[in-house]
């Protein structure tokens, strides 16, 4: 059973083990913002406290960090070198921690303390669920699993409020694989369910799925049926499918 945690960008997958999944932490993002003239205190301690709180409440068997644990590429900032090893050590003292590296995770394996397992960037399968970040094509075994979970895209939706503002809000996207797209790359067809997780770090922003996407951002935009994707806010509100959301927007414009 795959269930979003209420009011949090976390996924709980229950099979033989209970796996808590968080994607796109982007620790060290503040360093890049600082270089651009925006001064924000490090959020690593806050994110650690949030995750430790959820671990104490949910008590999973393992914590899976689904890519982009760090932010800066290709170099690693002094902030990341100082904060990430201790961040992972604190988490691994409470639960088994596993990582599927994302496109921002260069040098992460060198920073991971003993006891933290860094998987291949092509993903892995646990309890018949395939996990991958989403920036690159996953392993064939991941695609043959009963269901898939990915991150990377920071899915969001942009909805105007009564005052005319249009902030983007993070969403869960739940859809199916496109059999033809899978067939073209892997030589076999799959239409299993896939869930794309929002970014855990709220400073990351998001990719509004109901607006034109100008860059591919990896295979996820090809292999998932986005028009049929059902979008959910973090509080569980069902916004309908992406196609339905777009149709309403066209009527209101």
**Domain of 69, in residue numbers:** 2-252
Average pLDDT, the chain: 90
pLDDT tier for residue 75 given thresholds of 50, 70 and 90: confident
Q: What is the pLDDT of residues 180-220, one digit of tens each?
A: 999 999 999 999 999 999 999 988 888 889 888 777 688 99
Task: Tell me the pTM.
Answer: 0.92
The residues facing 128 across adjacent strands are: none
Residue 163 has pLDDT above 70, yes or no: no
Look at the block and give the residue holding tokens 């990341």: 80
pLDDT tier for residue 176 given thresholds of 50, 70 and 90: very high
Residue 165 has pLDDT above 80, yes or no: no
CATH number at residue 199: 3.60.21
Residue from 163, 156, 237 nearest 196 by CA = 156
Q: Which of the pair, 19 or 105, is modelled with greater confidence?
A: 19
Task: Label residue 127 exposed, middle or buried (CB < 10 Å: 0-12, 13-18, 19+).
Answer: middle
DSSP 105-149: -TTHHHHPPTT-EE--TT-EEETTEEE--SSSPPPHHHHTSSEEE
Number of domains the chain is built from: 1
Angle, CA of 28, 157 and 222, to the nearest 5°: 85
pLDDT mean over 149-165 = 84
The residues facing 196 across adjacent strands are: 150, 173
What is the reported pLDDT for 79?
86
Measured CA to CA, the distance from residue 25 to residue 146 in angstroms comes to 26
Residue 164 has pLDDT above 70, yes or no: no
Residue from 154, 138, 143, 129 nearest 101 by CA = 138
What is the reported pLDDT for 76?
82
Residue 84 has pLDDT above 70, yes or no: yes
């Amino acid at each position: 059973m795959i269930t979003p945690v209420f009011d949090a960008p976390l996924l709980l997958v229950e099979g033989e083990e209970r796996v808590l999944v968080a994607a796109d932490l982007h620790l060290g993002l503040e360093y890049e913002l600082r270089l651009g003239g925006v001064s924000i205190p490090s959020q690593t301690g806050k994110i650690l406290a949030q995750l430790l709180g959820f671990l104490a409440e949910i008590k999973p068997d393992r914590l899976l960090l689904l890519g982009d644990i760090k932010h800066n590429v290709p170099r690693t900032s002094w902030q990341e070198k100082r904060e990430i090893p201790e961040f992972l050590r604190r988490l691994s003292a409470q639960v088994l921690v596993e990582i599927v590296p994302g496109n921002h995770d260069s040098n992460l394996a060198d920073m991971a303390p003993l006891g933290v397992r860094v998987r291949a960037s092509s993903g892995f399968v646990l309890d018949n669920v395939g996990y991958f970040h989403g920036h690159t094509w996953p392993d064939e075994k991941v695609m043959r699993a009963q269901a898939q979970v990915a991150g990377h895209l920071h899915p969001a939706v942009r909805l105007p409020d009564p005052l005319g503002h249009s902030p983007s809000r993070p969403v869960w996207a739940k859809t199916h694989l496109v059999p033809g797209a899978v067939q073209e790359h892997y030589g076999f067809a799959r239409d299993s369910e896939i869930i794309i997780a929002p970014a855990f770090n709220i400073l990351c922003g998001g990719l509004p799925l109901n607006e034109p996407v100008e860059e591919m951002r990896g295979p996820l935009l090809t292999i998932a049926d986005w028009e049929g994707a059902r979008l959910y806010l973090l509080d569980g509100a069902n916004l309908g499918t992406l196609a339905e959301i777009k149709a309403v927007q066209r009527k209101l414009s």
